[in-house]
Amino acid sequence: MPKLKTHSGAKKRFRLTARGKVKHKRAGARHLLQGMSAGRSRTLRRPATLNNTQARMVKRLLPYG
């Protein structure tokens, strides 16, 4: 069988954990940060995991992850 191509956009944005969950960077931490509380900014720095429905879609784009 031929090799499968990995989706270039997905490999830049998502990582798989050891248990198979999908890690991603949170949205909203790029600009318009002055009006945001410090606690909100700190929360956005931490990575998050996708829910099961979205994780299934991303795992199809990362076949060898």
- Please give the chain's pLDDT, 65 residues, in tens: 999 999 999 999 999 999 999 999 999 999 999 999 999 999 999 999 999 999 999 999 999 97
Who's near 51: CB < 8 A, 6+ residues apart? none
The three-state DSSP-derived secondary structure of the chain is CCCCCCCHHHHHHEEECCCCCEEECCCCCCCCCCCCCHHHHHHHHCCEECCHHHHHHHHHHCCCC
Whole-number pLDDT of residue 42? 97
Whole-number pLDDT of residue 29? 95
Q: Give the architecture (CATH level 2) of 8-61.
A: Irregular (4.10)
pTM for this structure? 0.85
